[in-house]
Structure 1
Amino acid sequence: MNTYYFDHCASSPMPQMVIDTMTELMKLHYANPSSLHKAGTDAMKLVDRARASVAERMGAKLREVLFTSGGTESNNLAIKGLLGQTGRSPKHIIVSPVEHPSVHECARQLEAEGAVELTVLPVDSAGRVDPGDVAAAIRKETVLVSVMHVNNETGTVQPIEEIGRIVRKHARIRFHVDGVQAIGKVPFDWKGSGVDFYSGSAHKFGGPKGVGLLLVKEGIELSPLLSGGGQENGMRSGTLNVPAIVAMSQALRLSMERREARRATMYELRRRLLAIVAEIPAWVVNGAADERDTAPHVVNLSYPGMRPEVIIHMLEREGVYVSTQSACSSKSLKPSRVLLAMGYDADRSSGSIRISFGDEHSIRDIEHLGEKLRSVAADLKPLERTGK
């Protein structure tokens, strides 16, 4: 049986070129790049070239690129690292209710510890933050605003440029954006965005797991989460993972080179899937109705009242792999926090699945997926009121 992987928001496959690069580097460049001998300096040269490549693709300066272990660390480093550098108290931070758990839980932890006062903004039924609500929430103690670029469950794109213009009016406030689901999928202008921190994770755009990036606006210092050897300008200690960093830089280059063509193709796939779903009354679409407000690679559907793991495993038996909520929260049986924040009821928020495309998909694959969604809906019909 053929399998169809529609879970690219959770993790994307690595292109063979990236696999080959990483394999070769693991064989040849195993030295610690902090070592002073030739093997070490050769490894550091590879890191330097990778940093220059990442900086070029992201429109950043060399010193603005920090390498991390992935999106979760990047988000935590931006938020906690900034607070460690902010002396005055009390401190106030603003976040949206639809953030990834690595931002949401980080903010809640800081609030529980008494380190910050937290404002959670409302969102509309598309999951979008109103920039006016950001402006209204700012007060003299505010040190940080954190609003993601693309939502990891619904694909909704936030108005980060508008929010950035608001934050720029307040010199003391920093703006963090979780860009994990955006890189390689939607346009982003680092220099003109008003964003101070931008997080990325390699395995979302065809790189290896366990490596990521954090763009930090020049002149901003972060307190490190980890004490150690002072790598990454003293902000992220730990031996640099040379093969993974170089592989990430190559994956980023490939992803950015194909971005516009990918966007056009994926919007076509998305339109076709939505047209199919519109013919299946059991399924409802969650998120922005206007294509301009959503990323091209994500569709979120609900079968109201049905437990999502039932849907996931029924599709899995047909060789179709999709997800429910964030992959980081997929084992939770609770309703989606994101969909609840968007105003959907518990039945709809509990029975949601996330479909996310990749470069390998075609219209034929979408037709196959649509056929399986029809089949699952028919099989689920007798179970609707049983809670199974």
Structure 2
Amino acid sequence: MTHPGLTNGPIYLDYNATTPVDPRVVDAALPYLTHHFGNPSSSHTYADAPRAAVGQARRQVADLLGAAPGEIVFTAGGSEADTLAVRGVALAARGRADQVITQATEHPAVLEACDSLQADGFTITRLPVDEHGQVDPAVLEATITDRTVLVSIMAANSETGTLQPLAQLAAIAHRYGALFHTDAAQAAGKIPLDVKDLGVDLLTVVGHKMYAPKGVGALYVRSGTAVQPVIRGGGQERGLRAGTENVALIVALGAAAQLAADDLPTEGKHLVGLRDALHDRLDALMPGLIRLNGHPTQRLPGTLNLSLTGVNGRDLLAATPQIAAATGSACHEGLDTPSAVLTAMGLGAERSRSAIRLSLGRWTTADQVDQAAALLASRYAVLSAQAATTP
């Protein structure tokens, strides 16, 4: 079935920027906007249904991650969760440790949180990535010290889909007594994630990347992990995140987590097939003219980042309004500068500017893949011909 928000619109290939809210998620959340209005912290009967719903959502998110319900802290989104993880852990350890390690291609929420800690006197180290966008565990091993309080490395990059070797990196962090955080905004609900197997201490989940609404997220905090709150107030969420819970959005996140857990084995395999079919089709239509950016195998099932020789990626997408896609992260979309992620991977400015990100999701079809490939190849041919005749 077609999502109602996608009917009669362009082919949507920007799922990494945001996902349409699943109608089943809307159905789960709606009663908490229309009927069950009570404050979950109240002691009367109007609080019963909201409080129970928040508890159920906490269990649903925990089950997706292999965590305990009490280890899930609801937030207003990924940036807040990242800030709570990075600043909260660092400030809780102030005086005992003073180094935070992240990577060059990390999400701006983590990088900005690290910059704010630098102003507070912490040392911030940004690890380089290789040509595929991965952090080499040996580089972390050579950089970490007994003064390191936290290592924060995202699970999957939003532009290339490249997956990081989290278990190896977390094990290194723990050998030096540091905690490990991963921003799993792009990975949660798309690939299996088990916090015990990965060995992570904190993990960020974002609602609107997994078919829930914008404005809700969660942070997994391993039991016993010392975190200083960044929003103080009434003591909600075990004192780690003050503010009356947004019950409807929390219910939505829980429902989305349940759907993702149920569909993960089949949906991931389906998206890999569509992604690879799109790549193959484009390669057949433009032989020798496209190059994959990111890891060839260790990447998200629905992410395809390609550079198209001789054509600016922004120009190509602007000339193809029948497709909704991006040149990179939505956080930087609209900037006509080489992608910082691709630049950090060692790709030149020309290749970076020629890149487009095609991200597939729950409502992408095989027919859309074929149509998108044909449209892009057609517009590429026109732009290439124009470039060849321009002095």
Task: Tell me which interval the TM-score lies in, with the shorter structure as reference length.
Answer: over 0.9
Q: 1:154 aligns with which of 157, 160, 175?
A: 160
Q: Tell me how far 1:105 sits from its aligned partner.
A: 2.4
Q: Tell me how far 1:385 sits from its aligned partner.
A: 7.6
Partner of 1:92 in structure 2? Answer: 99
Asked if 1:346 corresponds to 2:349, the answer is: yes
State the AA in 1 paired with 2:303.
Answer: V
Partner of 1:331 in structure 2? Answer: 334
Asked if 1:223 corresponds to 2:228, the answer is: yes
State the AA in 2 paired with 1:239.
Answer: T
Partner of 1:30 in structure 2? Answer: 37
Partner of 1:58 in structure 2? Answer: 65
Partner of 2:375 in structure 1? Answer: 372
1:153-192 correspondence runs (5 A): 153-171=159-177, 173-192=178-197
For 1:312 and 1:225, the matched residues in 2 are separated by 40
Asked if 1:263 corresponds to 2:268, the answer is: yes
Q: Which runs of 5+ in 2 are unaligned?
A: 1-7
Asked if 1:203 corresponds to 2:208, the answer is: yes
Partner of 1:119 in structure 2? Answer: 125
For 2:199 and 2:97, the matched residues in 1 are separated by 24
Determine helix, strand or coil for the equivalent of 1:175: strand
Determine helix, strand or coil for the equivalent of 2:279: helix
Determine helix, strand or coil for the equivalent of 2:320: helix
Q: Tell me how far 1:151 sits from its aligned partner.
A: 0.7
Q: Tell me how far 1:52 sits from its aligned partner.
A: 1.8
Q: Cα RMSD between the aligned structures?
A: 1.8
Q: Tell me how far 1:48 sits from its aligned partner.
A: 1.2
State the AA in 2 paired with 1:342.
Answer: M
State the AA in 1 paired with 2:352.
Answer: S
Is 360-369 or 234-243 further displaced after alignment? 360-369
Determine helix, strand or coil for the equivalent of 2:168: helix
Mapped contact 1:315–1:372 kept (Cα < 8 A): yes
For 2:316 and 2:187, the matched residues in 1 are separated by 27
Return closer, same or farther for 1:282/1:311 CA change in 2, 3 Å cut-off. Answer: same
For 2:359 and 2:134, the matched residues in 1 are separated by 19
Partner of 1:17 in structure 2? Answer: 24
Determine helix, strand or coil for the equivalent of 2:196: coil
Q: TM-score, normalised by structure 1?
A: 0.94
Return closer, same or farther for 1:315/1:36 CA change in 2, 3 Å cut-off. Answer: same
Q: Tell me how far 1:87 sits from its aligned partner.
A: 2.3
Q: Tell me how far 1:312 sits from its aligned partner.
A: 2.4
State the AA in 2 paired with 1:373.
Answer: L
For 2:359 and 2:387, the matched residues in 1 are separated by 25
Determine helix, strand or coil for the equivalent of 2:238: coil
For 2:313 and 2:86, the matched residues in 1 are separated by 32
CA deviations 1:40-73 (Å, max 9, x no partner) are: 2331121112112222222111221000111111
State the AA in 2 paired with 1:74.
Answer: A
Q: Tell me how far 1:3 sits from its aligned partner.
A: 2.2
Percent identity reads: 35
Return closer, same or farther for 1:139/1:170 CA change in 2, 3 Å cut-off. Answer: closer
1:128-139 correspondence runs (5 A): 128-139=134-145
For 2:312 and 2:273, the matched residues in 1 are separated by 29
Q: Tell me how far 1:29 sits from its aligned partner.
A: 1.4
Return closer, same or farther for 1:385/1:70 CA change in 2, 3 Å cut-off. Answer: farther
Partner of 1:103 in structure 2? Answer: 110
State the AA in 1 paired with 2:42.
Answer: S
Mapped contact 2:21–2:212 kept (Cα < 8 A): yes
State the AA in 2 paired with 1:228.
Answer: G
For 2:193 and 2:94, the matched residues in 1 are separated by 31
Q: Which runs of 5+ in 1 are unaligned?
A: none
Partner of 1:46 in structure 2? Answer: 53
Determine helix, strand or coil for the equivalent of 1:278: helix
Mapped contact 2:128–2:135 kept (Cα < 8 A): yes
For 1:16 and 1:140, the matched residues in 2 are separated by 49
State the AA in 1 paired with 2:308.
Answer: Y
For 1:345 and 1:221, the matched residues in 2 are separated by 42
For 2:262 and 2:104, the matched residues in 1 are separated by 33
Q: Tell me how far 1:89 sits from its aligned partner.
A: 6.2
Return closer, same or farther for 1:304/1:223 CA change in 2, 3 Å cut-off. Answer: farther
Asked if 1:235 corresponds to 2:232, the answer is: no
CA deviations 1:17-55 (Å, max 9, x no partner) are: 111222222101122212222212331121112112222
Partner of 2:278 in structure 1? Answer: 273
Partner of 2:253 in structure 1? Answer: 248
Q: TM-score, normalised by structure 2?
A: 0.93
Return closer, same or farther for 1:104/1:307 CA change in 2, 3 Å cut-off. Answer: farther
CA deviations 1:255-275 (Å, max 9, x no partner) are: 111111011111111211121
Mapped contact 1:305–1:385 kept (Cα < 8 A): no
For 1:349 and 1:104, the matched residues in 2 are separated by 21
